[in-house]
Amino acid sequence: MSSAVGVVDRWSPRLAGRDSAGRLAHAAIAAAGVAACAVAAAVTLSGLTAEYAVLQATARAAIVGVPIAVGLYALHGASSRFGQLLILTGFIVCLGTLSESPDPWLYSIGRVVGWTIEVALVYLILSFPTGRLPARVDRVLVGLIGAVVLCLYLPTALLVEDYPVPSTVTACGESCPPNAFMVVANEPAVVEDLMRPLRELLTIALFVCVTIRVGLRIRSASPLAKRALGPVLAVSIFRLVVFLTALVARRLAPESAVPEVASWLLGLAIPLLAVAFLVGVWRWRLFIAEAMQRLAMRLQGRFRPPELRRALAEEFDDPTLEFVHRAGDHWVDAAGEEIPAPEATAEQALSDILDGGERVAAILHDPALSEDAAFTATATAYALMTLESERLAAQTDRLLSEVREARMRARSAAEEERRRIEHDLHDGAQQRLIALGIKLELAAERTAALDPGAAKLMRGLGAEVDQALDEVRALARGDLPAELGLGDALRTAARSSALPVTVLEIAVRRYPHEIETAAFFCCLEALQNASKHARDATVVVVELADDDHALSLEVRDDGDGFDERAVGAGIGLASMRERIEAVGGEVSIRSRPGGGTRVRARIPIA
């Protein structure tokens, strides 16, 4: 349990926020973001005299500020790396808004930076939600787009007089400043004839591939991953389609309004993409919070590994989830079946569970859960609780087994002692009683003619000797007669009871010797207690029943009863309980003044 608390404590800073230095860093980023928004708005206003200049400046500020704001929010959760990428993208977009400036140098810087924005956005789309490219194909696509920008876009900044318009980073149109980076006297024909058509063709082809890749990710994503991926990937596909439309329209219909509208849609898709990411994060965190609440309500009391695995899989919507743990020197699954040591795969992530630095268990789960600190902490805590409960249960079973073995040894020792006493009585007192009985009978015969009264008295003494002999034999035997069943033995014992006794049997059969003996003496003790203490009783009923793999017995009388709270457990009750518990059963007594007494026992039959 202490290990589970330690895990939660270690994760708490990540869930609740960073330390003071981290908060200062976030405040500095927020201040820089506000400054970037102000720069974007000021630069936009400086280059526009149109009626909607304020509206356009506000839109540029939003394009810069929304990704930074959402990125700051993401820094406090499981997607901190993605949040860092969003913040970086926001500042890159801020540099791109310099293309709204009337100054040729600032304008040229903004246009060159604008080309790199597309690479950053493609990286964001393919790396959502972890901030890492999940597969080799994603890394290849980002690398190819970067290569196209590096080889076919950036070099043209030194060769062209004017940049192509419209663009996602400027609304200047025909009034754009000249390229300040041009180093040649005249634009080479190779730019317009080869480089520009080739780069646009390659860009279209690569963006089609990215769109297909995003669509395949949505299609193949688990239900769990779709909760976060859905909104972001939907906006991503929308932007990629608009980007392709803008490239084609600028080539085929440059004079129409389609290229300009597509450019604005592309720019506004940046904050829309950030908002979609925020919605995905909210949906994910809401799902995790509700799952943790349901899990806490479901896992109450003691629960075993199969129950834990089922609860985690159902509440976190991950049917592939598996809980495995160490058992000695090998690994077992939740059902207790031995398995190889767990390893992460492409379909399942692996979260190790440590106790005191030792790997004691692991959870295989949907990769979408691997970055969530709340899931990891919760699953780890419950797993350690389960293992601790299993350990305590095993220890309890072992102690109970030792108690049963000790009882068996005590019973065996008592049986050996009883046999020794029986042997001693058979060779000593029993033989003397038999001889005494014979002598009394002979004496009675000899005196019958002279003194009939004395002969009768001697024969009476002989009968008492026979009765004493039977009692000695019963005492030595310490058992019910082996040839009699439990019911017949109780009927035989009931004949000497001071109260009328009725013995009822329901589907009773023969049982192991130790069970019949324990049941016999429990009933016998209850009969003796009724004879001694049940005042005004008129009848005692002994009921035996074979019920669901158990022998049930009940001894009840209609006497005046007693107050259970006022009467302590005597030797007789302790003897009954010891005998019944020695064979795995249990005894209960119910009585009340004027309501008689019931002694009940139940012995499981293996």
| Closest of 331, 327, 297 to residue 314, by C-alpha | 297
Q: Which residues contact 315 (CB under 8 A, 6 or more apart)?
A: 291, 292, 294, 295, 298
| Closest of 480, 489, 575 to residue 525, by C-alpha | 575
Residue 414 burial by Cβ neighbours in a 10 Å radius (0-12, 13-18, 19+): exposed
Rg over alpha carbons for the chain, rounded to the nearest Å, is 46
> How many Å apart are CA 568 and CA 296, to the nearest integer?
43
pLDDT of residue 83: 84
pLDDT of residue 140: 94
Residue 517 in 3-state DSSP? helix
| Closest of 120, 199, 191 to residue 160, by C-alpha | 191
| Closest of 524, 520, 522 to residue 487, by C-alpha | 520
Residue 326: CB atoms within 10 Å? 17
Angle at 54 between CA 106 and CA 71, to 5 degrees: 70
> How many Å apart are CA 134 and CA 153, to the nearest integer?
27
> How many Å apart are CA 207 and CA 209, to the nearest integer?
5
Q: Which residues contact 43 (CB under 8 A, 6 or more apart)?
A: 60, 97, 98, 100, 101, 106
In this structure, the strands spanning 501-506 and 540-546 are: parallel
Residue 516 in 3-state DSSP? helix
CA 228 from chain centre, in angstroms, equals 21
Residues 47, 172 contacting (CB under 8 angstroms): yes
DSSP 77: S
H or E element that contains 96: helix 80-96
Residue 358 in 3-state DSSP? strand
pLDDT of residue 7: 38
> How many Å apart are CA 445 and CA 455, to the nearest integer?
7
Residues 606, 511 contacting (CB under 8 angstroms): no
pTM: 0.58
pLDDT of residue 463: 76
> How many Å apart are CA 274 and CA 63, to the nearest integer?
9
Q: Tell me the backbone φ, ψ of residue 562, rounded to 5 degrees.
A: -160, 165
pLDDT of residue 290: 86
- Structural domains in the chain, CATH included, are 13-289 (1.20.1070), 301-396 (no CATH), 483-604 (3.30.565.10)
pLDDT of residue 158: 92
> Tokens in use for 216?
């395949």
| Closest of 124, 368, 95 to residue 240, by C-alpha | 124
Q: Tell me the backbone φ, ψ of residue 578, rounded to 5 degrees.
A: -60, -45
Amino acid of residue 380: T
> How many Å apart are CA 37 and CA 17, to the nearest integer?
25
Residues lower than pLDDT 50 in the chain: 1-18
Mean pLDDT taken over the chain: 80
| Closest of 111, 117, 118, 113 to residue 179, by C-alpha | 111
Residues 169, 99 contacting (CB under 8 angstroms): yes
> How many Å apart are CA 480 and CA 488, to the nearest integer?
10
| Closest of 434, 455, 435 to residue 443, by C-alpha | 455
Q: Could you tell me which residues are beta bridge partners of residue 326? A: 331
Residues 480, 516 contacting (CB under 8 angstroms): yes
DSSP 178: P
Q: Where are the alpha helices (DSSP H) in 478-512?
A: 486-494
